[in-house]
C-alpha cells in the first residue's frame, strides 16, 4: 500500500492501544485482528509510525505483568513489521522492549524515560532501537504536579535522561525527547510547555509531541464533550508544534485530521511561493520574500553572564564560577523588516534567558562542549541559519597571569 507522507515531512505517529482500559480507546483493539486492521487504517491515513501500547497509563490503571503485555502486543508487532510498517512499542519494561525489538520494532517509547526499569536503557542500547524518553514523575500521573518553572524543570529532566541514555550506549541520533504533555502536569503547565517547546528542541535531539485527546484540551470544549471532539484541538496543537522545528514528530489518535492540518499548512506555503514567483502585487501582509530579495543579517548578543559549575577540577564543580557568553546569529530578517513585529525575528531577551538556563544546567568538563550546547540553543530558533557562540572563562584556575580564556563554536543548520 502506498503511503501518503505529510508534505511538511513531519512524522505522524498513530496511536494503537491493545488494552482493555486505555483512557481513549480501551477495549476496541484488544483482538489482534481488530488491532491490525486499525493500524492499516492509520497507515492509509498518513501515519509514518504505529505506536503500540499494551499497558494503560491512564490515571488509576492497574499495572500488568510484562508477560501479559507481551502477549497482547507481539502478534500485532510481528504482523505489522511483516507488512513493512514502522513500529514503536510503548512500554516501561525492559523484557517487553527486548522482545519487541526482536520482533522488528524500531522504536521503544518509555513514559518513564528509563527510570522504572533500570535495565531499559542498556537493553535498548544492545538492541539498537531508537528510544523515546518522556518526562513524567512516575506512573501515577495525578500526583506531584507542582512546578516553579515547568519548562525549565522539564528541560533539565530530559537533559539528564538524555545523558543517561548516551552513557548506557544509545547513540545520540537515536534519542527522541517527549515533554510529556498531560503527565504530572496541570492544564496551564501544558500550555506553557507548548509555548516553550523551542527550549526542549534546544537540547539537540528529535522531539515527540503527544497532546492527543489530553484532558487540558478537553477544557477548551463544552461540558460533556466526547474524547473524539478533542481531535480538532489535537490537530491544532500538533500543527503548532510541527511549525517549531523540522525535528518535531507528533503522536495522535486521529491521524486523518492532523495530516489534513499539516497538508493545509504546506499548501498555503506553496501558494505563497507561487504568488511571489508569478505576480507583483501590492502585498498588504508580510510574506516570505524570494531568495533574491531576502535581507539577511546578524544579531549579536554579547557579554551574557551566568554562573555554572563547569570544569575538570573538583573545586570548579564544587564552587562554580562566572562564564561570559557572546552569541552571533545569522538569519533572514526579511519578515521582521516587512512586518516590524518581534514575532518575525529572534527575541534576544528570551534568547538570553535560554542561554543562561543552559549554562546553569548540569556541569560539563569542557567549555568547548558548553559552547556547542549553547549553539544548539541558538539553532533551535527556526529563523537562525548559522550561530557562532563564544564562551569566556575569565576566572579559570590558571597558574600564570592572564586576561581571558575563550572557546568559539560555529554551527550551521543542516536543512
Task: Kindly report the average pLDDT of the chain as a whole number.
Answer: 88
Closest of 21, 39, 43, 17 to residue 29, by C-alpha:
17
Q: Tens digits of per-residue pLDDT, 315-347?
A: 999 999 999 999 999 988 877 887 888 888 899
- Sequence-distant (6+) residues with CB within 8 A of 215 are 182, 187
Report the range of poorest mean pLDDT among 20-34, 156-170, 374-388: 20-34
Which of the listed residues 227, 249, 266 is the one where a domain comes to its end? 266
Pair (257, 317) in one structural domain: no
Tell me what the mean pLDDT of segment 195-214 comes to: 92
Q: Tens digits of per-residue pLDDT, 74-109?
A: 999 999 999 999 999 999 999 999 999 999 999 999
Provide the grid cell at 28.
476496541
Please work out, in degrees rounded to the nearest 5, the angle formed at the alpha carbon of residue 223 by the alpha carbons of 218 and 224. 90
Q: Domain for residue 76, yes or no? A: yes
Q: Tens digits of per-residue pLDDT, 233-242?
A: 999 999 999 9
Distance from the first to the final alpha carbon of the chain: 29
- The torsion region of residue 330 among left (phi > 0), alpha (psi -120 to 50) and beta comes to beta
Tell me what the mean pLDDT of segment 121-135 comes to: 98
Active site residue 214: yes
Confidence grade of residue 22 (pLDDT, cut at 50, 70, 90): low
Provide the grid cell at 369.
562542549
Active site residue 251: yes
Pair (260, 300) in one structural domain: no
Q: Is the pLDDT of residue 282 over 50?
A: no
- Tell me how far apart the alpha carbons of residues 112 and 91 are, in angstroms, rounded to a whole number: 9
* Cβ burial 281-314 (10 Å sphere, 16+ → b, else e): eeeeeebbbeeeeeeeeebebeebebebbbbeee
Q: Domain for residue 5, yes or no? A: no
What is the residue-wise DSSP string for 369-408? HHHHHHHHHHHTSTTEEEEEEEEE-TT---SS--S--EEE
Q: Domain for residue 286, yes or no? A: no
Provide the grid cell at 85.
510498517
Query: Which range of residues forms the domain containing residue 157?
Result: 12-266
What is the residue-wise DSSP string for 184-232? S--HHHHHHHHHTHHHHHTTSSEEEE--TT-HHHHTTS-TT--GGGGHH
Tell me what the mean pLDDT of segment 40-64 comes to: 87
Return the pLDDT at 414: 57
Q: What's 175's domain CATH number?
A: 3.20.20.20
Return the pLDDT at 141: 67
Pair (383, 324) in one structural domain: yes
Closest of 203, 118, 129 to residue 171, by C-alpha:
129
Closest of 295, 258, 335, 200 to residue 48, by C-alpha:
258
Q: Domain for residue 1, yes or no? A: no
Pair (132, 253) in one structural domain: yes
Report the range of poorest mean pLDDT among 99-108, 280-289, 379-388: 280-289
Task: Give me the phi and psi of 215, to 5 degrees please.
Answer: -60, -35
Place of cell 564560577: 321
Q: Domain for residue 194, yes or no? A: yes
Pair (146, 218) in one structural domain: yes
- Tell me how far apart the alpha carbons of residues 307 and 319 are, in angstroms, rounded to a whole number: 10
Confidence grade of residue 58 (pLDDT, cut at 50, 70, 90): low
Three-state DSSP class for residue 234 = helix
Pair (246, 300) in one structural domain: no
Q: What's 354's domain CATH number?
A: 3.30.1130.10
Confidence grade of residue 134 (pLDDT, cut at 50, 70, 90): very high
Q: Domain for residue 186, yes or no? A: yes
Which of the listed residues 210, 231, 266 is the one where a domain comes to its end? 266
Active-site annotation holder among 162, 174, 214, 361: 214
Q: Is the pLDDT of residue 51 over 90?
A: yes
Tell me which of 1 and 308 has the higher pLDDT. Answer: 308
Q: Domain for residue 358, yes or no? A: yes
Pair (64, 213) in one structural domain: yes
Return the pLDDT at 280: 47
Pair (141, 253) in one structural domain: yes
Pair (38, 187) in one structural domain: yes
Q: Are 17 and 29 in contact (CB under 8 A)?
A: yes
Pair (197, 342) in one structural domain: no
Report the range of poorest mean pLDDT among 18-27, 318-327, 348-357: 18-27
Active-site annotation holder among 174, 213, 251, 411: 251
Q: Domain for residue 6, yes or no? A: no
Tell me what the mean pLDDT of segment 156-177 comes to: 95
Give the best-scoring range by mean pLDDT among 48-57, 209-218, 329-338: 209-218
Closest of 75, 69, 89 to residue 13, by C-alpha:
89
Return the pLDDT at 292: 45
Pair (313, 168) in one structural domain: no
User: Strands 87-90 and 175-178: what pairing?
Assistant: unpaired
The pTM of this model reads: 0.68
- How much of the chain, in percent, has pLDDT values that exceed 70? 89
Closest of 97, 17, 12, 86 to residue 57, by C-alpha:
17
Q: Is the pLDDT of residue 7 over 70?
A: no
Pair (184, 241) in one structural domain: yes
Q: How many domains does one find in the chain?
A: 2
Q: Is the pLDDT of residue 46 over 80?
A: yes
Which of the listed residues 207, 231, 266 is the one where a domain comes to its end? 266
- Tell me how far apart the alpha carbons of residues 34 and 54 are, in angstroms, rounded to a whole number: 14
Amino acid at each position: 500500500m502506498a503511503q501518503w507522507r505529510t508534505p511538511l515531512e513531519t512524522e505522524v505517529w498513530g496511536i494503537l492501544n491493545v488494552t482493555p482500559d486505555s483512557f481513549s480507546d480501551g477495549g476496541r483493539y484488544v483482538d489482534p485482528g481488530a488491532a491490525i486492521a486499525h493500524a492499516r487504517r492509520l497507515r492509509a491515513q498518513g501515519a509514518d509510525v504505529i505506536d503500540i501500547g499494551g499497558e494503560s497509563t491512564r490515571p488509576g490503571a492497574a499495572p500488568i505483568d510484562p508477560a501479559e503485555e507481551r502477549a497482547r502486543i507481539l502478534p500485532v508487532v510481528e504482523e505489522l513489521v511483516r507488512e513493512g510498517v514502522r513500529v514503536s512499542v510503548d512500554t516501561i519494561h525492559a523484557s517487553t522492549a527486548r522482545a519487541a525489538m526482536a520482533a522488528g520494532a524500531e522504536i521503544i517509547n518509555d513514559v518513564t524515560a528509563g527510570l522504572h526499569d533500570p535495565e531499559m536503557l542498556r537493553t535498548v542500547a544492545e538492541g539498537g532501537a531508537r528510544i523515546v524518553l518522556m518526562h513524567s514523575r512516575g506512573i501515577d500521573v495525578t500526583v506531584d504536579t507542582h512546578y516553579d518553572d515547568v519548562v525549565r524543570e522539564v528541560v533539565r529532566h530530559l537533559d539528564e535522561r538524555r545523558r543517561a541514555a548516551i552513557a548506557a550506549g544509545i547513540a545520540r541520533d537515536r534519542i527522541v525527547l517527549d515533554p510529556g504533555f498531560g503527565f504530572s502536569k496541570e492544564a496551564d503547565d501544558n500550555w506553557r510547555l507548548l509555548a516553550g517547546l523551542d527550549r526542549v528542541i534546544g537540547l539537540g535531539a528529535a522531539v515527540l509531541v503527544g497532546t492527543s485527546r489530553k484532558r487540558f484540551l478537553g477544557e477548551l470544549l463544552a461540558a460533556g464533550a466526547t474524547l473524539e471532539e478533542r481531535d480538532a484541538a489535537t490537530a491544532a496543537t500538533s500543527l503548532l508544534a510541527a511549525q517549531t522545528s523540522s525535528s518535531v514528530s507528533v503522536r495522535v489518535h486521529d491521524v486523518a485530521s492532523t495530516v489534513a492540518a499539516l497538508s493545509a499548512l504546506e499548501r498555503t506555503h506553496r501558494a505563497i511561493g507561487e504568488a511571489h514567483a508569478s505576480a507583483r502585487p501590492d502585498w498588504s501582509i508580510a510574506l516570505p520574500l524570494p531568495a533574491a530579495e531576502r535581507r539577511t543579517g546578524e544579531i549579536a548578543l554579547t557579554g551574557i553572564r551566568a554562573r555554572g559549575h563547569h570544569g575538570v577540577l573538583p573545586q570548579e564543580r564544587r564552587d562554580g564560577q562566572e562564564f561570559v557568553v557572546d552569541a552571533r546569529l545569522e538569519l533572514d530578517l526579511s519578515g521582521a523588516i516587512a512586518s516590524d513585529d518581534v514575532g518575525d525575528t529572534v527575541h534576544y531577551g528570551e534568547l538570553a534567558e535560554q542561554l543562561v538556563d543552559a549554562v546553569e544546567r548540569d556541569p560539563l568538563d569542557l567549555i568547548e562542549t558548553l559552547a556547542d550546547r549553547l549553539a544548539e540553543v541558538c539553532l533551535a530558533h527556526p529563523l537562525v541559519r548559522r550561530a557562532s557562540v563564544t564562551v569566556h572563562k575569565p576566572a579559570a584556575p590558571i597558574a600564570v597571569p592572564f586576561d581571558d580564556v575563550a572557546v568559539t563554536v560555529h554551527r550551521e543548520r543542516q536543512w
